[in-house]
Amino acid sequence: MLNIFDVDVVFKDVKSILKFVPISLNISIISGLIGLLIGFLIAIIRIKKIPVLNFLSGVFISFMRGTPIIVQLYITYFGIPIALLYINYYKGTNLQVANIPPIIYALAALALNTGAFCSVIIQSAFEAINPGEIEAAAALGMNGRQRMFRIIIPEALELALPNLGNQFIGVIKGTSLAFTCSVVEMTAQAKIIGARGYRYFEAYVALAIIYWVIIIIVEQLIKIILHFVRVPDVVGNVEDKKLYRKHKKLLKKQGGVL
């Protein structure tokens, strides 16, 4: 039998790449969360127009948007050791480059990159909130922190969530470049097993399938979260779940009009 393309090899490759799913997911979740935090801080700096910091974050965002991720990975990979050498020289410390696990480089680069993009998303979400509601909260006597956590963030979250989800999907795919920092994750593993028998195509097909499935699952998760965060369209006792389900069916039957 002709086996120019061997399906069995694809299945075998899927199995061996699957072992590296946790590494890829860990990198994306950790750098995604750190990125979210960085993005939130930068968004606040930019909205409040804090002098100096506002300018610096402008430069940072511009740089992160203006250079490819792979270049940013290279810069952290080669930049951090050089920075350590300088620190050792001036502070007299003895920090060893070899002690830094390679995953740190990937995390740093991806987190900074995500932070820049998240800040733009979060800033626009904050600016899209009806200022009247914030005024109403102030008029009730709520202080800045209460307004932020009880009114502004819940609303901004709904507005930002679809875009943040998109950004997270971008991060997951971005982890495929972590091999440039000598992290062995899914893509690196596919390269390695492809090289073993020169069955590169099968390895990459297996890799593509795994990425695709992961991202379909993430998309569904985002949809579920959005469903809970959004104000429902149906009119009625939405806290009564039974009634809500009934309305949902009605909505579909009537083509969206209740």
Partner 1 sequence: MIKIRDIKKSFFTNKVLDGISFDIEAGDVIAIIGPSGTGKSTLLRCINSITKADEGIVEFDDFKFDSQKHTKKDLTALRKRTSMVFQQFNLFSKKTVLKNVMEGLTVVKKISKKEAKEIAIKELEKVHMEDRQVYYPKHLSGGQQQRVAIARAMAMQPELLLFDEPTSALDPELVGEVLDTIRDIAKEGNTMIVVSHEMSFVRNVATKVIFMENGKIVEMGSASQIFDNPQNERTKEFLIKNRVFIQPEYSI
Smallest separation (angstroms) from partner 1 to the CB of 255: 19
Q: Which stretch binds partner 1 (CB under 8 A): 26-34, 66-74, 139-147, 186-194?
A: 139-147
Give, in degrees to the nearest 5, the angle at Cα 42 between 114 and 66: 50
Locate 13 and state its tokens: 């490759």
Q: Which stretch binds partner 1 (CB under 8 A): 69-77, 145-153, 174-182, 246-254?
A: 145-153
Smallest separation (angstroms) from partner 1 to the CB of 164: 17
Select 104 or 135, whichever has its Cβ closest to partner 1. 135
Q: Does 16 bind partner 1 (CB under 8 A)?
A: no
Q: Does 254 bind partner 1 (CB under 8 A)?
A: no
- What burial class does residue 174 get, using C-beta atoms within 10 Å of its C-beta: 0-12 exposed, 13-18 middle, 19+ buried? buried
- Interaction with partner 1 in 77-136: which residues (CB under 8 A)? 130, 132-133, 135-136
Locate 186 and state its tokens: 């899914």
Report, in angstroms and rounded to the nearest whole number, the Rg of the chain calculated over CA atoms. Answer: 23
In whole angstroms, give the CA distance from residue 58 to residue 36.
17
DSSP characters over 115-141: HHHHHHHHHHHHHTS-HHHHHHHHHTT
- Interaction with partner 1 in 204-243: which residues (CB under 8 A)? 231-232, 235-240
Smallest separation (angstroms) from partner 1 to the CB of 43: 19
Question: For partner 1, which residue of 23, 110, 151, 177 counts as binding (CB under 8 A)?
Answer: 151
In whole angstroms, give the CA distance from residue 102 to residue 210.
23
Locate 3 and state its tokens: 């086996």
Question: For partner 1, which residue of 21, 84, 142, 222 counts as binding (CB under 8 A)?
Answer: 142
Residues forming the site for partner 1 (CB under 8 A):
130, 132-133, 135-143, 146, 150-151, 154-155, 158, 231-232, 235-240
